[in-house]
Chain A
């Protein structure tokens, strides 16, 4: 199992977009350029988002966790984007509601049913209003990387969790 790729190069700040398709394309194209995902990843993630929206209304800053099937992924990674202006995403599990999303965690996983503790830690961040506000107010990618590395504890997870 390869390690999770995560560094400043897949943290995007001040992303300007009008629609969720634009947001997903911007983040996805960056991953394609870095050969972390197949070019097919971008249309796949847009389609998946239409069918199964991933917007999560939280107590503070709403998030979205777009993801798609494992075959489009070359090396598993978590990409983060903070949007300049909020963009509407569909609410997960609800076909009528939209939520204005400010921060995106794009999950590119290469194996189904894996990474439980990483995902649990990520969801814990979503439940922490102060931490989310802290994240979206950062202006330095290094700071975001540091915060998330600490919260998600990548080192401890490596290999430890199927």
Chain B
């Protein structure tokens, strides 16, 4: 149970407007946005990634090129982010809303920025309570040529999305995406590229 409190504004600071993308946690109502900001207790991230990439010409007995990667990642928030604090204290804190570190094969930082108001047409005529809101996750893991990212529409144009990993926040489903380079998606007869991945994010809220 959290310590009861009342803050004279839904959110502690004026919100900036940001263009949403398909990897955003949003669009959210103000109610959802408020609950995420004030009540997010933490999130846990885990991922298992594997890639195998080889090139073997017919005349050769041995592969000309061969590499294999695997990574196991798990992480949680660090003490520096806002949501690490008790809800009633969050209004006085500044910085990134959520910051986490993964451990495993390499140290990877990840974060969730926000909250933001969704940039939308005619927003000046829409009451604050009826605007759309969002959080912007910045999560990215890689293993060989395989990238799992929270980015959606505007990821590196040299990559193609080959899968996604859905997760739920307050009953709404969002997803992480898996990308591989375009040239590995369409290989010749001499090239072999195999991958596998799974990833999950679990949001935990205060009761």
A binds B: no
Chain B residues at the A interface, C-beta cutoff of 8 Å? none
Chain A residues at the B interface, C-beta cutoff of 8 Å? none
